[in-house]
Amino acid sequence: MASDIIEKMIFVLSKAQDLTVATMRPDGYPQSTTVIFISDGTEVFFVCNKDSQKAANMEANDKVSYAATLPYDNWEEIEGVSVGGHAVRMTDASELNRVGELMVSKYPQVTNYLAEGAGEQVAIYKITPVAASILNYAQGFGHTDNLDFL
């Protein structure tokens, strides 16, 4: 059963276009921001400005949550994921290149920003999941399957 749930999570992440990431601000309030992302299995990678508030938030507290849904025409078709995990800024050059190539493959317009020098302003974060809820309204209103990754 868990492998089916993981497969559903991977499917949703592979098809979703954007992700809403929640970080914790220094004043204790959560901050949620929509970002572009790519996934590799259950791990998620996203780009943000290295000097942004969300980057500062994650450097101070690596606990994050995110949510993503697939496009739907009515709420009985909602499929999504809600995940809590740890975010780490990537520094390994080969991993950064690999994730960068995947990002450009999903979002070709990224190359326009890189050509304008934005590459020096970005940080790439990897989120490793700790717990996840997989939402599937096709199985009933509010139906979720939960996963623990610990």
C-alpha 75 chain-centroid distance: 22
Residue 120 has pLDDT above 80, yes or no: no
Q: What is the pLDDT of residue 2?
A: 83
Q: What is the pLDDT of residue 113?
A: 67
Task: Supply the pTM of this predicted model.
Answer: 0.89
- Tens-place pLDDT, residues 77-101: 999 999 999 999 999 989 988 998 8
C-alpha 46 chain-centroid distance: 6
Distances (CA, A) of 125 to 3, 96, 101, 138: 26, 10, 15, 32
Taking phi first (over 0 means left), then psi (-120 to 50 degrees means alpha), and beta for anything else, what does residue 61 get? beta
Alpha carbons 31 and 28: distance in angstroms, whole number: 9
| DSSP conformation letters of the chain | -HHHHHHHHHHHHHH-S-EEEEEE-TTS-EEEEEE-EEEETTEEEEEEETTSHHHHHHHH--EEEEEEE---SSGGG-EEEEEEEEEEE---HHHHHHHHHHHHHH-TTHHHHHHTTGGGGEEEEEEEEEEEEEEEGGGSTT-EEEEE--
Q: What is the pLDDT of residue 111?
A: 77
Q: How confident is the model at residue 122 (pLDDT cuts 50, 70, 90)?
A: confident
Alpha carbons 36 and 105: distance in angstroms, whole number: 12
Structural domains in the chain, sorted by start: 2-148 (2.30.110.10)
Residue 117 has pLDDT above 60, yes or no: no
